[in-house]
Structure 1
Amino acid sequence: MNRTWMHKMIWSYLPIFCLLFSFLFFVFFQTLVQQNNRNTKESSEVFVNQLLQSVDISLRSLDNMLIRDFVSNKLLSDFFQERGKDNVYLNYQIVNQMQLMKQAMPMIDSYYLVRYKDGIVFNGNTKSMDQFADIDFIRSQQRAKATYISTWSAFRTYGEFESQKPKDVISLVHNVSFSSSKDGMIVVNISLASLRMMMREMYEPGQSFVQLYDNEGQPLFKQDGGAGKRKVLASQTSRYTGWTAESGITNGRTGELISSLSSVWLVLGLLSFVAGGASIVYVTRKNYKPIADLVFRIQDQFGTGKPTLGRLAVDEFTFIETAINNFAEQTELFRKEARETAARKQKSLFRELLLTAGEQTEWLEPSLLPPHDRLRVFVLEIDHPEQMFNQYKLRDQSLFKFVVSSASHELFTAQPDVQVWLEWTSPLQMTGILFMNGAAEDTAAETAAHITDWVSRHLAFSVTIGLGETEEAGAGAAGESHKQAQKALSYKATLGHNRVIGGPDTAMQQTEKATNKHLQAIHLLIRQLRLHEEAWQESCDHFFAGMRACRLTKSEIAELCRYFAAHMDVQLSEASKEYYEYWVNETAPSLRQIIEEFDTLEELQRLCAGTLARFAAQMERLHGSRQHHQLLQEIRSYIGLHYANPELSLEFLGDKFGLNAKYISQLFKEEFGENFLDYLTQLRIMAAKKQLLEHPDSIQEVGERVGYVSAATFRRVFRKVEGLSPVDYRKRNAM
């Protein structure tokens, strides 16, 4: 059988196969070149980072060694407090100390010390500052702004002796002060030749290059004639020295030539593709006629009675129409599934972005994200949901969320080169990631303020927005900014609702001293409640004012309030049974519920003050019903007036009020939840603390004034109560 048709089909499609194969080959080669370029750039960035770290570690080690072994040494104070040139032994010790540093750090080229008060420069020899070769550098440092941390100079030349050829150095300058002004400075010069040698050991000059620029833009390595062939792939600036390092490949023109050729090959591939497509159309149209004739013959044989149009079109088009309808239904189904899959994928990607670099489990492909070089995360939270938002049905809540997200998207994307991803990460919180590219201005704070204002004016509730800091694009950047936004939002309890909270609003840090003041305020409030003093309301207001001034987070506020409730429970357990039962059964459960459910500090203060007021009123009623209530109030008032009497004791009170001393002790414990001696000690120590800070009297005089005849007894009791001696207390609180 003659197979002419088969051969014809083979030779018709063979050129198409060759063209498509060539196109795929060109695409593969282009992809390979691009991937190689990306890998080269990433390697250069890693190398520059390691290089800068090595240089910073070397220079920082020298800085730390100078501070540890020399600045903190008594030799330094002796030298700068000395006058004249005659202390040979001191000079000898300084030279030995610096020689030890030079042995430990071979990069040190030279050093000298400058004493301003008599104009002396010491570099192993003592010279007048005006006659010293480096006088210009010294004058420039004197004119500079005073700072007492070590600084690094720009690259410069320095000759230790006039006969010596100047060397390229960088100088570590440390100002020294033992009074209100600068007393002098220490200058340690590092050889740039040593620094160049250290850097050259880290790379292969024939394949790549490295350049280091100081703060003034001076290069470390001399530019040669081949500098034009270099292609910079990575650049990074040190936070410690401010120097900038650049790295790249030496054969830059070759890389550009390869990239140009790859572009040409890509164009040739596209042309091949177009030619192949045209060939397919031509061959298909040419070879379709025999297939159409075959269809006509099949229809003539099996399609009797069916209508035709030109002996072909009707049945064929019906078949095609049916196939298209089925295909359209399948396509719509596939599109729907694709949209759902894309939404799930974006949501998963969104949540992965909010993780920090150490928490991310998957590598994020940059092409999946909008183009950006900076990003910023904000978290929007609905205020007082239980009062307004949660009163709506779920359908209405979803509508409100859609309105808020739409308004946020419109306001943030109004600025060019800014894109935003939004996601409701919890029922009441919406998280947004702002992708900023190029020259896009960072107006996130102003836009967020517009959002809060728009929501409060147009909707039945308000929102608060926590704003993270702007981060450079990179792994974990969004996660870091998200942590900052969540932290900012945690200050909502202190700073209030319907506002934007950012980094400056939360800059105040909680110190140990501030924490102690909170605890002292709690103890004073508990003591006044236990002793039925009317000043407890002022102490309560003072306690909440202190938390508000320190800008505590909601969790910190709740922790302090839980401590108050627990400590109050312990103190009342030692008081009368009916007091403790009322606290445990009525007040404490209500107080703990308020602590767990509060939203703002003002709300917490109002509810806690009301609960404690009811407790104080009940305590007063219970006190009034007790038999010796009035007598014990008189005894407590007498103690408050005569606590400084050294003779004051239970026996003294028994004689004064005509009761047995042990009986007074028992009644006092039941009434106030505290024994007589502890109460008296607290009064005396509180008075002593006040006098220690307000009067310059001796410790013995202060002790006698508050009721302690023996200074040793006063010191022992004071240390037991406060944890430190009276002298230390006066020093610490006078600072």
Structure 2
Amino acid sequence: MMRKSWYRRLLFSYFPIFMLTVSILIFLSFLIVNEISRNETGKANRITTGFVLDSVEKSLTKVEMDVLSEAETNKSYSSFLNGQAQSGSTMLYGLVGSLRALKDNHELVHSVYIYRTKDHTVLTRSGLQDASTFGDYPYIEQALRSEDRQWSPVREWTEPGTHTSERVISMHKRLPLPFGGQGLLVINIGVYPLQQMIGQMTNPTVSYLVINDASGQTIYPAASGTKDAVKAEDGQQLTHLMSPRLGWSFESGIRAGQLFEWVSVISYVWIVVGLAVVILAVIYIIYVTRRNYRPIQLMMQRIQQLPSRPGEENNKDELWMIDHALQSLIRQTIDYEQQEHANILIRRRQLFLDLMEGTGTETVELRLNDLSPFADGGKRGVTLVYAVMVVELHDLDLPQTADGSRRLEDHGGEDQRLSLSLLGVVQELAATYGWQGWAEWMSRKRISILLRKEVDDGEGLLGVKLQEMAQTGCEWLHGHLGVQLTIGIGGQIHELAHVQDSYRSAISALRYRLTLGVRDIVTSEQVPQADDIPLYSYLPLISETIRSFRLASHDWRVQLEGLFGAMETDKLKDGDILTVMQWLQELLEREMREMKDVSGALDRYFNGPEAERWKSEVESASSLAVMHTLMLEHMTTVYRTYVAASETKSYRAMVSEMKQYIEEHYTNPDLSLNHLSERFDVSPKYASHLFKTEFDMKFVDFLTRLRMNHAQQMLCNTTETVQHIATQVGYANSITFGRVFKRVVGVTPGDYRKLRLKPEDSLTGGAL
């Protein structure tokens, strides 16, 4: 009798998942309840603490405002500070009454007194006394030195005439308000009534509140402790607030043992939900187990119908019997596949290589029929056309065999899937366009495809369809697999013996991808038939381009464009183009290094990561136009740095030459910024910038000052006419000269000559 141990194993196999589910539910329930309770408790605690803070600030602010309002509106305060209110006067009694009223009207106020600087006396609600005998005189001395007008830290106050002390916080204001120097008004707030007020706003049985002043002294709870006061160590801190006005810190939290008392109610709900989930899970597990066991039961019935071998036991459980039957089936299948397909991939690949190399052509037909590499097998009695397409992949790194070739069976993981995807896409794409495709890896980054089709179109139309198929493949592979590739299409042939010719023409087409490629597809018909052009013929073009670059002539861009145009016209091979680019880069680097003054500024363009990136981008360019753009962008960047460095080194010398030229030709009426720009081959705007930078004045102001200085000397030292002097300093007529002279010097040329000819005049050699 067969034991149903498989049923029990299948049933118990669900229990780890069941236990994990229950554990997660319980954990999540407590986690959620704890988080909710903590957030809500923290929010309530933060609101309560904020209310206490606002209440304390408002109470102290009200006391401060009432006292200051009384001091500002009561004229007796000013009279006392001026010395008018003396001991025994009615005004003094009234002022004492005002201080007592301020104390009586505010529960928080401990005392208020006034210090008069004039005679160092203090007025309290008890009367007038000398400051030196006043018990709070140390605080007065500190207040006179301090500019801090905030509430002080907690301090001890000793009542005059007694030895008892009380804790107070104090604020002082200079009188008369707001910043007078005749005295001080001191307000003392008792800490005890402040503690009583705060205690009425808190519930110490649930939460605690600790208030410290700026110096760290405890304001609440009382230092000696109260009956219901709770300290920070008695609970968990949830809120920490700072009072910007008082400088106090408010720390509050929930009293230990009280935080989660109400959570039990919510926990019961989660327990009920958890039990319901467990019951449903048990029912579902039993149902799934019974349903999953039915196929096993049917399978066992079929296995038991097979004739048993001698020596086999029939009382084994289901698992053993199924495993035994599967092992026998797998063993037989493996033996059969090994006999039928031992070397089929290797033989098929070898046949493909023989076709591409043109070897073993006498047995090609037989081997082709035997291996059937094409999807429809071998065709007979039909005129066929063949073509070879070579696909070269870029930015792809797959493992390769020891001989440099590729084999699908050697790939693993992502590499194998990508390789199979590429071959599968190529063959399916060929079938879409009516071709039978056979693809194999030829090298590390190259796939060759042998295409076959019945002759039903003209050869020209077939070539167009091949290009369309190649273009579709490029776009699909780039869009779906992110693979960049170049395709070379060989010529069409009608016999397998000539497949090697189509393969060679496809390989040749890949060598002209940069100049002939249209969307990365090159056909054998586009390959030039003329002899190769010697590369040394491009050296003059390269030398002329670098020479213009070094001379800072804008013609180098035109010459660079001509260089690329010549390579495109001559249809150079890709390798030859890269060689020309290497010559161009090396010559540019050598020329720039010879420029000692600017070589340091240009070093990063020829050494380091930026130089390597530039060379890599040029070498991996997809077309000649892209290569031209990359070279132009990089050389433009180098050119701008080169010109900027050159101008920085030589602009001071240029400014000096300009200054000397102006001093020698200031008599020329046509001297202007345009004249200087033509003379020194710089723009007028740049010439103006140089003058502004070097002399801190505009060119016009520099020239006018120079001309006026010479005109003043000629007016003082010669008897020439004003008209003659005007022409000698660069003005066409005396009217313009006189207007400019008066604007700069302050008087007309004639008056200036008269003033300068009078020896006794004090203006001689002065401002004029």
Name the TM-score, length of structure 2 as normaliser: 0.34
TM-score, length basis structure 1: 0.36
Higher radius of gyration, 1 or 2: 2
